[in-house]
Structure 1
Amino acid sequence: MLSIKNLNHEYNWVNVLTPSETEIASLINDYGVTSEMLGYVLDPDERARVEVDPDANITLIIFDVYYEGNNDNEARTLPVGLMLTKGTLISFMDVHTKFVREMFESQLKKLGSDPVIENQFSLILPLLYRLSVAYFKPIRLADKKRQQIQAELRIKTNRKAINEFMIIETGLVYILTSIKGNVSLLNEIKRHAKELTKDQADLLDDVIVEAQQGMEMATMTSDMTARLSSSYSKVLDMELNNTMRFLTIYSIVLTIPAIVFGFFGQNVQVPFQNSPIGWEITLIIMVVLCLAAGWLLMHNDWWKKR
């Protein structure tokens, strides 16, 4: 779907939401968009970057945005395309990222009717700022969730909590990867965008600062989550080893009575079979052997937990 809005006498805004073949043809014929650029911007797996086509006078900015999905296990970042052509800003979104259009519309309302627009960066830089700051919320929520799980693990270590750590860590990997790509993209804009005014350059610096702050927050939370997950996994492994060690010792000790009674239960001549206290002697032999086995195991530190 194509939505076209006149911003002023110089600039138009075209919002593209999951375009059909007819709409793609319209973009090529009416706005001079190249097939190559469309291939980049419509790729859902495209990384954050800047692509410039000087012949067609097109600058493409692909920026990774965070969206709130319905499933906690799904990746929550997707690319949004901002294409700058002569006199037209074209934004590309899908059903998950259409909230960006609402953000942009609220930004335009603040400018009023027939706003003065120095160039298209006056439109996209405030949007990139808001999209960069939007990463703070999921990072803080992930850190808060980590603290809650950590508090539960102090009381009782369990495999479910470790799995929740892994879910948090996976989500942070996607977020951190996207933020790193965005930071590289913003720095690339700073190096190559010669038409930026002083105010725009200052705003771009602010966007870079916020994106870097988000990257540092995500890195710290991801590292802490990974280390805690690893530490508690080791604790669970040690507890399992201790349990297996106890069961091994227990089975060794319980094997001795079976051996003793099996020996004296043979239908052959055995010691003490005619003794009036033969049963008691058998019990004493069994107890002595069990105690000896227990002592040997204790002497070799088998009872100690590791």
Structure 2
Amino acid sequence: MASFLNGGAFVLQILKQNGRVIEQCEDLDEGCWINLVAPTEEELKEVQNRLPVLPEFLSYPLDEEETSRIEREEDQVLIIIKIPDPRHEGDFVRYETIPLGIILIEGIIITVCLKETVLLDDLFSGRSALSGLLCDPARFIFHIFLKAAALFLRHLRMIDRLTSEYEKELHRSLRNQELVKLLNLEKSLVYFNTSLRANDLVMARLQSGRYIPITEENEDILEDALIENQQAIEMAKIYSDILSGMMDAYASVISNNLNIVMKFLTSVTIILSLPTLVASVYGMNVALPFQDSPHAFAIIMGFSLVLSGLVVFIFIRKKML
């Protein structure tokens, strides 16, 4: 295996078809697959020294904000698609997307990505599944599209499960933590929806055969990838609408709960102010009823309680308590 090291981790791998198996090799011949993961400037220059690949084709996929697209220049084809990137921050889970670059040059396939991804790890773990793909670059690329769409679907189902869990927690207690979790999932669906639509445009352009020659068998694989991608788009839209409606509903519930609390506190304040008002009146240094009566205190307290009770009864009838 030819590989360059970055902090002890492999960032470049060269694979080639040998009969029915995929083997690591050192020579860059037609039918090779070069996998670059978070390469440094020196490592990119090393690849350019061994292959006449355009520098910008190698650097574009390393920009996290790069959008999905396809370019062809000097007999080189660059395809950029977006793939899911789950990020865990304590108890919070949010999903974003990162670009995956696929470069086709002289029959050699180069993949460039900012970080290791499950998508390519699945290809490595199932070497037998790669059998026959490296001999046909179009089939290899379309299988990446298919796996990317399947990966989006997998994470969308996870988002659906997380939404159900957070909803159950919110039924028990309306806390900010659960609302922030739902907000993170809502943002994740926005990333997914945008990236899936961009990937769909790239695959639709590839169907024309202008960039990569397509056989009938490979066209079937691309159509399968398009169907999977369309399914992911529909799921993302449905889940986004559900989550948006749920957030609006809980916002209304929280606002309604606040109004109920404020109404209750206002009612209690009015009820408590009545005895205070009576006591304040009888605290004045002027002639007042019952001031010479030995039962004045009991009469005044009884009057205050009756007045407060009457107000409580009125509030209950008006459903303010």
The within-5 A match list for 1:252-291 is 252-291=270-309
Q: CA RMSD in A?
A: 2.7
Alignment partner, residue 153 of structure 2 = 136
Q: Determine what percentage of the aligned residue pairs are the same residue.
A: 27
Specify the code of the residue in structure 2 equivalent to 1:91: T
Q: Are 1:102 and 2:118 an aligned pair?
A: no
User: Is the 1:176–1:215 Cα contact (8 Å) retained in structure 2?
Assistant: yes
Q: Are 1:248 and 2:266 an aligned pair?
A: yes
Rounded Cα–Cα distance in structure 2 between residues aligned with 1:171 and 1:116: 32
Alignment partner, residue 176 of structure 1 = 193
Rounded Cα–Cα distance in structure 2 between residues aligned with 1:221 and 1:116: 34
Q: Which has the higher strand share?
A: 2
Alignment partner, residue 163 of structure 1 = 180
How far apart are residue 217 of structure 1 and its match? 1.1
Q: Are 1:88 and 2:108 an aligned pair?
A: yes
Specify the code of the residue in structure 1 equivalent to 2:116: H
Rounded Cα–Cα distance in structure 2 between residues aligned with 1:116 and 1:238: 59
The within-5 A match list for 1:20-59 is 20-53=40-73, 56-59=74-77
Alignment partner, residue 166 of structure 2 = 149
Alignment partner, residue 79 of structure 2 = 61
How far apart are residue 106 of structure 1 and its match? 5.2
SS in 2 for 1:271: coil
Specify the code of the residue in structure 2 equivalent to 1:42: L
The two structures have a TM-score, normalised by structure 2, of 0.81
Unaligned runs of 5+ in 2: 5-11, 19-28
How far apart are residue 303 of structure 1 and its match? 0.7
Alignment partner, residue 77 of structure 1 = 97
Q: Are 1:232 and 2:230 an aligned pair?
A: no
Unaligned runs of 5+ in 1: none
Rounded Cα–Cα distance in structure 1 between residues aligned with 2:248 and 2:269: 31
More deviation in 21-30 or 219-228? 21-30
Rounded Cα–Cα distance in structure 2 between residues aligned with 1:150 and 1:111: 41
The two structures have a TM-score, normalised by structure 1, of 0.84
User: What do the CA deviations read for 1:147-179 (whole angstroms, capped 9, x no partner)?
Assistant: 23334444x341243333223223322222322
SS in 1 for 2:214: coil
Alignment partner, residue 207 of structure 2 = 190
Taking a change above 3 Å as real, the CA distance of residues 180 and 111 of structure 1, as seen in their structure-2 partners, is: closer
SS in 1 for 2:93: coil
Alignment partner, residue 8 of structure 2 = none
More deviation in 252-261 or 42-51? 42-51
How far apart are residue 266 of structure 1 and its match? 1.9
Specify the code of the residue in structure 1 equivalent to 2:184: I
User: Is the 1:179–1:211 Cα contact (8 Å) retained in structure 2?
Assistant: yes
User: Is the 1:52–1:60 Cα contact (8 Å) retained in structure 2?
Assistant: yes
User: Is the 2:149–2:225 Cα contact (8 Å) retained in structure 1?
Assistant: yes
Taking a change above 3 Å as real, the CA distance of residues 240 and 52 of structure 1, as seen in their structure-2 partners, is: same
Alignment partner, residue 209 of structure 1 = 227
How far apart are residue 22 of structure 1 and its match? 2.5
User: Is the 1:7–1:13 Cα contact (8 Å) retained in structure 2?
Assistant: no
SS in 2 for 1:265: coil
Of 182, 190, 199 in structure 1, the residue corresponding to residue 217 of structure 2 is 199
Rounded Cα–Cα distance in structure 2 between residues aligned with 1:229 and 1:111: 43
Rounded Cα–Cα distance in structure 2 between residues aligned with 1:255 and 1:96: 67
Specify the code of the residue in structure 2 equivalent to 1:200: N
Rounded Cα–Cα distance in structure 1 between residues aligned with 2:71 and 2:109: 15
Q: Are 1:5 and 2:24 an aligned pair?
A: no
SS in 1 for 2:64: coil
Q: Are 1:121 and 2:138 an aligned pair?
A: yes
More deviation in 245-254 or 31-40? 31-40
Runs of 4+ in 1 over 6 A off after TM superposition: none
Taking a change above 3 Å as real, the CA distance of residues 270 and 19 of structure 1, as seen in their structure-2 partners, is: same
